[in-house]
Amino acid sequence: MKIVVVNWRDPWHPQAGGAETFAWEPARRFARAGHEVCFVTARAPGQSRRESVEGVRFVRMGGVFSVYPLVLGWLSLRRRRFDVVLDCQNGIPFFTPWVVGRRTRVLCVVHHVHDRQFGVHMPGWLAAFGRFLEGPVSRWSYRRHESVAVSPSTVLAMRERLGWRGPVHIVPNGVSVAQTGNIEKSRVPRLVCLGRLVAHKRVHLLLDAVAELRERWPDLVVDIVGRGPEEAALRERLPEGVTLHGYLPEEDKARLVAQAWLHVSASQGEGWGLSVLEAAALGVPTVAYDVDGLRDAVRHGETGWLLPEGTGLAKGIAAALDELDHTYTVKCREWAGRFSWDRSADRLTALMLGHDPGPGWEEPRAAERPGSGQESCAAERPGPGLEGR
């Protein structure tokens, strides 16, 4: 097949995150399988306009907002060249059905619904416009096309908050971490936080919790790995015991995570939470809030703990440290072992060929989640998803 992947950023963009990993890992596998793959994306300062990596041809153009019309213009000139478009929505999709031929298969990939996050990052008028594009305009534009979501939470949010009506298939993230060998756990309580440093990740809540935690565990240390627009503000208020590492190469990041006792995410919502799986693959359970995506990635009481929104993060972390034992390490590795980028790429390939990708997602029962009062979306979930193998 001739495949074009359109995504806001590529994996080497300074602001790249899990969405970029999701776009790149299957793309390189498509190319390896013999398909012709073009990855069209924005261009960060210093990046080349065109290059080829592992058989994937990269075309870069525009910035944060200008990339959208530029990509549509580029694609309209090649409307009959591609068999499939993977249109990756990062809050706002590229609306590729407007410009491609009717025989071109379009799959809209949705990581999570951004409606509530627009207000965190944008002024009111722009946030309202973003919600309009994400909701009514997207719903109409993709009404004749199939969609891909990365978790049951995303499917439920698409149905309930965006009014999405078409078929939605679940293709979760895979997981890959650098090999660390035998890394001993830290002798003192050690927390790690992975992810982009943006407002909705709420890393400041972890900083607020450190002083209270160190009253009980004076040697407790915290490692924060990531970069983003909130980095400068966070550095100005780092409490004792906290190190903000910024970007780390994969090998260094894996060694750091492997030493940790707990991984912590204070995010207000995710599509899935790739960092949770990365930590689990290294035997590290996660403490997170019971919010979209994270309630799918964390199996409460097995691979971590889900806190009801409003719970003090220090209180939740302290309870987890008290309960932590080796069984969590074992179950984390088992859970992460069920996911791979090869399986994710296979499911996307099946969808691109018009095939049924297979049975649904194995998810924790609602009763296993701590006081959320939310029913499992399995009863509501339309269309086939992914077996949590």
Domain shared by 142 and 194, yes or no? no
Confirm whether 300 is domain-assigned: yes
Alpha-carbon gap, residue 48 to 4, rounded angstroms: 18
Q: How far apart are CA 52 and CA 50, in angstroms?
A: 7
Whether 258 maps to a domain, the answer reads: yes
Please state, in angstroms and rounded to a whole number, the distance separating the CA atoms of residues 91 and 161: 13
Question: In terms of DSSP H, where are the helices of 42-114?
Answer: 67-76
Tallying the residues shown for the chain, one arrives at 389
Looking at the fold, whether 220 and 252 belong to one and the same domain comes out as yes
Residues 150 and 45 in one domain: yes
Stated pTM of the model: 0.84
> Torsions phi, psi of 205, nearest 5?
-65, -35
Looking at residue 330, what is its pLDDT? 96
Instruction: Note whether 15 and 158 are same-domain residues.
Output: yes
Residue ending a domain, choose from 305, 320, 336: 336
Residue 241 lies in a domain: yes
Q: Which two tokens stand for residue 173?
A: 């993230």
Last residue of a domain, one of 138, 170, 202: 170
In a domain, 378, yes or no: no
Residues 283 and 216 in one domain: yes
For residues 91 and 165, state if they share a domain.
yes
What does the alpha-carbon distance between residue 179 and residue 284 come to, in Å, rounded to a whole number? 15
pLDDT at 117: 64
360 part of a folded domain: no
Rounded (to 5) percent helix, strand, coil in the chain:
35, 15, 45
What confidence score (pLDDT) does residue 386 get? 31
Q: Decide: residue 327, CB within 10 A, 0-12 exposed, 13-18 middle, 19+ buried.
A: exposed
Low-confidence residues in the chain, pLDDT < 70: 115, 117-121, 359-389
Q: Is 24 helix (H, G, I), strand (E, B) or coil?
A: helix
Residue 118 covered by a domain? yes
Give the dihedral sign, CA 371/298/305/16: negative
Q: What are the CB-based long-range contacts (under 8 Å, 24+) for 316-320?
A: 316/287, 317/191, 317/209, 317/213, 317/262, 317/264, 317/287, 318/213, 318/216, 320/262, 320/285, 320/287
Distance, CA of 38 to CA of 310 (rounded, Å):
44
How many domains in the chain? 2
Return the amino acid letter for 175.
Answer: V
**E strand or H helix at 344:** helix 341-352
The pLDDT assigned to 119 comes to 59
Residue 175 lies in a domain: no
Range of the domain at 230: 190-336
Choosing from 336, 360, 377, the residue where a domain stops is 336
Do residues 41 and 14 make contact, with C-beta atoms less than 8 angstroms apart?
A: no
* Residue-level pLDDT at 361: 57
Full 3-state SS string of 161-192: HCCCCCCEEECCCCCCCCCCCCCCCCCCCEEE
CATH (domain of 217): 3.40.50.2000
180 bridge partner residues: none
